[in-house]
C-alpha cells in the first residue's frame, strides 16, 4: 500500500467543527439571514434538543470564533462563522 499526499480528513475534523456543530451553525445562519440573530430557546426548538444542549454547543461555536453569544442573550454570527457556513453550504 502506498501513501498518497492526496488524503483529506473528514470535513468536520479539518476545521474543528463536527457535523452536529455545523447543523447548529447552519440553523443560526439561516435564522440570522431573516432576523439578524437567534435565541437559545428558538434554536433548541428548531433542532429538537434541550436548551441546555443548545447552549453548550453555542458556547463551543463561540470558542471557535464562529458566533457571538452572552448567557441569556442573542446569538449572532461572526464574519468567520458566516464565511465558514457559506463555504460549506456551497460545497453540498
* In the predicted structure, residue 5 carries a pLDDT above the cut 80: no
| CATH of residue 23 | 1.10.10.10
Whether 10 is in a domain gets the answer: no
pLDDT tens digits, 26-41:
999 999 999 988 999 9
Q: pLDDT band for position 65 (50/70/90)?
A: very high
Domains contained in the chain, number: 1
Can you tell me the distance from the alpha carbon of 37 to that of 27, in angstroms, rounded to the nearest whole number? 11
What pTM value is reported for the model? 0.79
Provide mean pLDDT across the span 53-80: 94
46-75 burial, b at 16+ Cβ within 10 Å, e below that, comes to ebebeeeebbebbebbbebebbbbeeeeeb
Q: Which domain holds residue 80?
A: 16-90
* In the predicted structure, residue 11 carries a pLDDT above the cut 70: no
3-state helix, strand, coil in the chain (%, to 5): 60, 10, 35
Provide mean pLDDT across the span 51-63: 96
Amino acid at each position: 500500500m502506498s501513501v498518497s499526499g492526496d488524503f483529506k480528513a473528514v470535513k468536520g475534523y479539518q476545521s474543528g467543527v463536527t457535523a452536529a456543530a455545523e447543523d447548529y451553525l447552519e440553523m443560526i445562519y439561516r435564522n440570522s439571514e431573516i432576523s439578524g440573530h437567534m435565541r437559545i430557546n428558538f434554536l433548541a426548538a428548531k433542532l429538537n434538543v434541550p436548551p441546555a444542549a443548545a447552549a453548550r454547543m453555542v458556547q463551543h461555536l463561540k470558542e471557535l470564533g464562529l458566533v457571538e453569544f452572552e448567557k441569556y442573550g442573542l446569538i449572532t454570527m461572526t464574519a468567520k462563522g458566516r464565511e465558514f457556513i457559506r463555504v460549506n453550504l456551497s460545497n453540498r
